[in-house]
Amino acid sequence: MKPKKPQKNGAAPRKRMPKWKRRLDEYSPEDLVKITFASEADIDAGTALVWGGRLTGLAFRLDPNSDSFIVPKASIPFFAEEGIQFTLHPAFRKASV
C-alpha cells in the first residue's frame, strides 16, 4: 500500500467517501442497519444528507411505518458527524424456527 502524499500548505488529507453499492439488496443483511431518528428535525437533516448532501447516491430504504431508514452500516459515522440524533436497530428481524 502506498503512503499518502503530504498535502500542500500542511493541509490534512481529504477523507475519501466509501464507494456505495447501487441497491440495498447488494449488501448482506449483516451490513445493514435501521436508523431511527429522535425528532422531526433529525429526520429532515437525515433526508437532506441522503437526498442531496454528502451521502447522495447512498442506497437506503424509508420505513413507511416509523421515523426510520435502512442504510449500510458504513454510513452511520456520516449521520453522527452532522450532529443528527438517532438510535440503531437491526435492519431485519431474525426468523424464529
40: domain CATH number? Answer: 3.30.70
In a domain, 1, yes or no: no
In a domain, 75, yes or no: yes
Helix, strand, coil shares of the chain, percent, nearest 5, are 30, 20, 50
pLDDT in tens for each of the 97 residues of the chain? Answer: 566 666 666 666 666 666 888 899 999 999 999 999 999 999 999 999 999 888 988 999 988 888 999 999 999 999 999 999 999 999 888 777 6
In whole angstroms, give the CA distance from residue 43 to residue 58: 16
pLDDT at 52: 87
How many domains does the chain divide into?
1
pLDDT at 14: 60
pLDDT at 10: 65
Range of the domain at 35: 20-90
